[in-house]
Structure formats: structure tokens, C-alpha cells
Structure 1
């Protein structure tokens, strides 16, 4: 697959194809695109950049104070997850078709069904989980929520159990009103945890969906180092990085990138 030499123009053209205006914002340090009516800004990050993680955090926070959602978009994410990026931005812009969750039916799903749905519709693709549920409408899966097993937490009251919401996604192009809450409520009523925690990726989220559902911001994790394989554009965290037999890294095959960390939310029950 490889890394494209020029890609920002493709971002502009792709949004134009769905009727969304995108304009450059003059900046000496960043490639910024104002999307739609200006309530969303995309920061296009090429691999040839001089940005520090803390610069990107400060940039996002500055726009947040203006009531503007800023999304950090790395070159490889656009190359490998273009449809999901467009879907994410369209959702923030309020362009999705709306379906009310009360019209849907909760169904248990398999890991393969979750994988197929999330790989197609979630910006970060799928992840392994213990419990998986979907929302069906007319025999079509339109939303998926995936949860961890319940874990006993030391240092809290006896028997205190916590679970993690690992993934939630709706069908690209659709917003399921109340869908997040419906799946969350079903999990809570079924397994009775003492809290549910989850992470919002700061590159693309301000955590608004969690706050609207009663979650509280518990922590902000720092930016994380990531290694990108040049030919496949597969991302690896350092502890999962393939290495030579002697433990050394093949420097010519990888590029060092990073994210801006996560917002950790907890729903106390």
C-alpha cells in the first residue's frame, strides 16, 4: 500500500463528493481544514512534520474553547480508514440519517459478527471482547456495543466489580438516537457491575457521548508512542512491535508516530 506523497487534496475532494465544503485555514505550523460550517476542523498530519504531542493537545484544547471540534488525522489513517473517517466527521457535523433506538431490537452477536461490523464502521476497527450486543432493525445490524468481563477491584468495597465498554459504533451514515444508552443499559441490567469505564481517543473525540450518558471524566492518559510499518501501514504499540531475532528493531521498515492519548470515563452505578 505504502504512503501517499500528497493526500490532503484527496481529503478535500472526498468531502466535496458528499456535498461538504472544506477550506484551508492559514497557519504557519499546521495543515488545518475547516469543514462544513466551521464547527469541525481537521488537522492533517503528514509524516514529515515537526509537531510534538503536547503541541497537538494544546491545539485541540484551544479550538475546544471556541466550541470547535478538532480532529487529528494522520496520513496513514486517511489511507487505510478513509470511509470511517468520513463517517466520523459526518456524524460530528450532524449529517447522518437518524434512527430511533426504540425501533430496534437488542440481539447477542458473535465475535465474528462484531469484527465484521466494527472493521467496517468503527474508526479504530474491532477489538476482542467478552460480551457483544447489537441493535437490529428489519433484520439489519445497525449498531454494536462490546464489553469486557467484569473485574473485581481491589481497594474498594468488597465484591466491587468494574467492566469496560470496549467499542460502540453505529452503521456508517446513521445516528441511532438512544442506541448507545440502550445497549449500555442492557449490559448493566444483565450483569450488574458497580461501574462501567471506557476510553475516548483524543485524536478524534471530545468525549461528548460519554458525558451525555452520565459518565464522569476520571483521567487523561498521556500521548502514546506508536510505530508504523512503512509498506503495510499497520500500527504497533512498542510492546507489540515485531523485532528481529536479536530483539533489535528494523529501523528502515518503521516510522515513529504517536497519538494524543485518551480520555478515561467512568459511569458509577
Structure 2
């Protein structure tokens, strides 16, 4: 997608609002977090469906990070404790990855096109295939992984796809979901060494929800590699990780907000380590909201759940 200059705060809010309005939703600004960031509430037939905290660079530069950002995090936590769906949406993600952001928002609203995972076939895929899929369908940067798995929908089931998702009719299959996993880390436990792997990335094809897809990919990995447990992280800005809990993951800890560096011209993000190698240092420090760490114990004879806690 062609990158354009950052928009004034109202332009960002208007773009997001107009997109929801085009799908028949009602939008209203219901509050302002820390007296800076607008909260956009998305309704359907006067019923709240979702709230978005919109973060643009101009507003961020006005914040007192040590005070205002914890207030935002607390606002998100309390909203979720009260059963509300709430997402923190940064302007740079909207500008640079608008189609992926829109796909995720559609999924959160339950409007994504559903593909039953039982119709798919699972197998290992190579680095090039995984990276290409993730770059097109995952919001965060592609990172190195040891094991890569994909779910493929055979052409005999293309009939379940919408017209917009239909691939070339000569295709034998369509890749609809990918999960990547790390090298094992070995932990010495009281009984046997425990092999722990990280679920690094998971993504479905844009505009889709592969129902049962993550579970199918996890089970394939477990059969192949027999891990003692699988750990992963949920981005607090997008969710509390409810989908992981449904798959047997247990909450272990919450990481602290992390500094990220954003080029105000290109809107490209870099970590602290990447910044050291960058030729330009005109980056603005922003903060994420941290992550929730989850661990899924995998049953091993003679091993108790307590041995999985890291």
C-alpha cells in the first residue's frame, strides 16, 4: 500500500468512522481517555458492538506518558472486566496495514467469512510460503521461526468461499491459515526435562475466520514435536486472549509496556535493538500496552500441571 503523510487527528477518526458507516454501523465519540485519546463506539441498531481507542501521533506527542498511558491501560482493563469489547488502534497501523486492520475488526465483530477447519488439510510449509502469507495477513512484522504449518482448503471445497475469496479456478488448493513455532527451550523439571515451544504467529486469510483452525494447527504440531508445553502472547491492545483460554492455555503473567520507535515520516516501527542499527534517529518513542503470557500444558505421563509453569 502506498504510504502517505500522517493525517490530522480528525482525519484518522473520520476515516475509521466512515469505514464502519459504510457497513451499516453507527459511530459516535463517547468519551476521551486521559483527556487526549478519543473513544469511538461502534453500534448496530443502538447496541454497542465495539469500542476503539484511537491513537494518532499528534495526540501522542501531547501525552505525559508516565501518567496518561497507565490511565489508558486501566481504561482498557476495566472495560474488558465489564464485558465490553475494546481495541486500541494506532494511526500508523491503519495507514500502513489498513486491509489487515479491517480484516481483524471484521473478525472481532463476528462478520468474517467462516471456513470450517475440518474441510482443510494441515501440513508443514516452507519459510517463503509462511513469510509471504504472514506479510499479507498478520499485523506485526514477520519474525524467524523454526516450524511452520499451514491449513489448505482443497479445490473440492472452494464452494464454501465467497466470490471475493475465490482463487484461480486452476488452483488445487488455497492456503487459509498459518501458524509458526519456535525452537524448543529445555527446562529441567523434577521428573523429566520439559520441551517448551512458543507459538510465534497465527493468522487466517484476510476476511476469513477459519473455525477451529488454530486448534487444528496446534494439534498437528503437538503430534509431530511432542512438546511439554506451548507458550504464546496476546497483545493487550487487541484482546485479553480469550481465544487462547478456550484452547486450554493458562494465563501466566502480563508483560510491562514496551518502548517502540516510530518514524513520523514513514510510520515504520522499530524495536530498541533495530533502532541502534538504523541510519536515521528521528524516531519518536511510543509505548505498547504489553502482552499477556499464556502457556498450554501438553499431557505427558508422570508430569503434573505445576511442572509447566515457567
TM-score, scaled to structure 2: 0.80
- The alpha-carbon distance between structure 1 residues 189 and 19, as it changes in their structure 2 partners (threshold 3 A), is same
Between Structure 1 and Structure 2, how many residues are aligned? 264
TM-score, scaled to structure 1: 0.92
- Find the counterpart in structure 2 of residue 26 from structure 1: 31
- Find the counterpart in structure 2 of residue 67 from structure 1: 83
Query: Counterparts of 2:148 and 2:278 in 1: how far apart (Å)?
Result: 36
Q: Quote how far apart the aligned CAs of 1:234 are.
A: 1.2
- Find the counterpart in structure 2 of residue 186 from structure 1: 220
Choose between structure 1 and 2 for higher RCO, CA contacts under 8 A separated by at least 6 residues: 1
- Find the counterpart in structure 2 of residue 106 from structure 1: 122
- Find the counterpart in structure 2 of residue 3 from structure 1: 6
CA deviations on 1:8-41 (whole Å, 9 max, x unpaired) are: 1011112223333322213344301112442311
- Find the counterpart in structure 2 of residue 174 from structure 1: 208
Query: Counterparts of 1:8 and 1:106 in 2: how far apart (Å)?
Result: 40
Structure showing greater Rg: 2
Residues 179-258 of structure 1: matches in 2 within 5 Å? 179-242=213-276, 250=281, 253-258=282-287
Query: Counterparts of 2:37 and 2:264 in 1: how far apart (Å)?
Result: 23
Q: Name whichever of 158-167 and 13-22 sits farther off.
A: 13-22
- Contact 1:225–1:259 (CA under 8 A) maintained in structure 2: yes
SS of the equivalent of 1:126 reads coil
SS of the equivalent of 1:19 reads coil
SS of the equivalent of 1:98 reads strand
SS of the equivalent of 1:26 reads strand
- Find the counterpart in structure 1 of residue 110 from structure 2: 94
Cα root mean square deviation, aligned: 1.8
- Find the counterpart in structure 2 of residue 262 from structure 1: 291
Q: Quote how far apart the aligned CAs of 1:68 are.
A: 0.9
- Find the counterpart in structure 1 of residue 307 from structure 2: none
Q: What 5-or-longer segments of structure 2 have no aligned partner?
A: 156-172, 299-310
- Contact 1:91–1:173 (CA under 8 A) maintained in structure 2: yes
- The alpha-carbon distance between structure 1 residues 210 and 91, as it changes in their structure 2 partners (threshold 3 A), is same
Q: Name whichever of 94-103 and 51-60 sits farther off.
A: 51-60
The one of 11, 18, 22 aligned to 1:13: 18
SS of the equivalent of 1:10 reads helix
Query: Counterparts of 1:82 and 1:152 in 2: how far apart (Å)?
Result: 39
- Contact 1:161–1:193 (CA under 8 A) maintained in structure 2: yes
